Structure 1
């Protein structure tokens, strides 16, 4: 056999087909969210571009991303991150700066969805959730969540300072407008922990978005904080859960590209595709979070639109989480929360 031909054949067996489909690793928070992303983003992108999406889950831990960025051994390409982690990670060089000319027009997105290292995927809320069939009266806000006499039983809260401290202050009568002004003081922090002391023995701490709803079904808790999209998905599966939007906190999740990804251009193509109005419409109809592309809302079914965090009625007594506050104070407050929780 000709030596050159043999060498080419050998190279082919080692490297694989030269026209093999590209792969992109996309990491999200899993559960119903990932299922909706597979339906609205991953499968259509694969069909359009012949790119294989390798989907993975995580709980938002930045330590893994930091190790990849610091060592240059980057196995993740696109990651879903919350606002404080995006801002902090961008400033620390953990994410690639984005080329917005490849992604879309900034003016097509809500302002909070546009940043140097990230593109908003959706708006989500953490809401007070309960089963009205198991309570004598519907709770009207976080003050009722704290009322152990009227509503005896366990409560579910996300393990961590974020959301937990805000809800404690709202339960103690702090207004939405003054929430972060109060929490930004030592007296406000002590006030939040003192309020949490009132129900500490009755709290079950959840780590993943699926847990609080599982606990509600099992009767382990009578009320819980939960992500609105998870609750609505459970309702559509026949669960009789209800959401109290009064005092809810909303934020965005964003796409970001891990520093050192060898597939930055492909990753930007994916983000651009997932940010188009039709894909966003398909996503929020699969899981009811608000779209970040303002052109998507007119495409969304009206019945779905009424259940979104962005519906005017749901926004009335809601509050955006303050990402800058949590960047400035998050590390200290999480340390204090862990010390308090472990007592």
Structure 2
């Protein structure tokens, strides 16, 4: 990520009319919108919760594409003035980066017709509309560890829970969890991590389990590590653990303490030929009902605060931002990692090589 991420994009204040979705109408050949997401289970869920209902409501056809979230693809389209994507899903970091570079549109919330203050992370993003909340958590196999970890400190307690740990082979997540386990309050994690002493403290804590860590590099690995008994607990993405339980019959348990929350956003590449329809789609997909509908297909939480009341109570415990999980959750700081990420990645690589 570039240091330009730190630049704050100015919010447009042109006061265009509020978008109101038209009732279903006959679709014409030109009425289509290209929406780009990350494929897999997420895009399948978005298709059911957003794409198909939007087309039914407006007559505007959705053409789907997939990418890996790389900012370079969007940048290349905009720079060459060959934009064929109208709406893209972006992570917090890439959204801020592309916003600072002027590659994606600054969101006009008046045109969108939604209240920015109603979104959990709305005030953090000038060029994106929050769509879902995901989490990195600690998981374990309840069949093999009936009395599993309760706090993030248990990840580092080798006496109480002997055995291998699975961790992402990257400094993110690990440094934050190390500080929380070492007694730093969640609200102070990034303040402490901005100091040389805080970084030293985090690495010292990681030293205590380093020899017992199995490092993973893709989201599919943690459930497999648990299933194979290679680790007693592991960092993982909450959606992967839910999927393993629902579709593979596993009895994995999520430990939500110090869950690290990340946010996906809808963004509009500069030069989209269908900007007005892109706003219509985002207004639809970011509405409370649509965000609540997504939870029926994938356990990612709605970012719109009013959506939580519309979520099925049986689904609520699986969501990262369920009220019971928020007391000690940590919101991942994209600005911090843009600023300090290069240095910390280098130090982490050197630490691993020791």
Partner of 2:309: 298
Query: Which one is further off, 145-154 or 291-300?
Result: 145-154
Cα separation, partners in 2 of 1:22 and 1:144, compared to 1, 3 Å: same
SS in 1 for 2:121: helix
Q: Is the aligned partner of 1:186 residue 2:186?
A: no
1:114-161 deviation per Cα after TM superposition (whole angstroms, max 9, x unaligned): 532100002222211111211263112222212334434432223322
Structure 2 CA distance for aligned equivalents of residues 34 and 342 of structure 1: 37
Match of 1:130 among 140, 143, 146: 140
Q: Which consecutive unaligned segments of at least 5 residues does structure 2 have?
A: 1-26
Structure 2 CA distance for aligned equivalents of residues 156 and 255 of structure 1: 31
> Is contact 2:116–2:122 with CA below 8 Å preserved after alignment?
no
Cα separation, partners in 2 of 1:339 and 1:103, compared to 1, 3 Å: farther
Alignment of 1:106-255 (within 5 A): 106-107=115-116, 109-114=118-123, 115-135=125-145, 137-237=147-247, 238-255=249-266
Structure 2 CA distance for aligned equivalents of residues 150 and 175 of structure 1: 23
SS in 2 for 1:105: coil
Partner of 1:312: 323
* TM-score (ref. length: structure 2): 0.82
Match of 2:35 among 23, 26, 39: 26
Partner of 1:10: none
Structure 1 CA distance for aligned equivalents of residues 35 and 134 of structure 2: 20
Partner of 1:66: 75
- Largest Rg, 1 or 2: 1
Q: Which consecutive unaligned segments of at least 5 residues does structure 1 have?
A: 1-17
Match of 1:283 among 294, 298, 301: 294
* TM-score (ref. length: structure 1): 0.84
1:54-87 deviation per Cα after TM superposition (whole angstroms, max 9, x unaligned): 13141x3333333333333434432222223322
> Is contact 2:316–2:322 with CA below 8 Å preserved after alignment?
yes
Shift in Å at residue 226 of structure 1? 1.8
Size of the alignment, in residue pairs?
A: 325
Cα separation, partners in 2 of 1:262 and 1:196, compared to 1, 3 Å: farther
Match of 2:277 among 266, 276, 283: 266
> Is contact 1:82–1:253 with CA below 8 Å preserved after alignment?
yes
Structure 2 CA distance for aligned equivalents of residues 220 and 25 of structure 1: 42
> Is contact 2:33–2:60 with CA below 8 Å preserved after alignment?
no
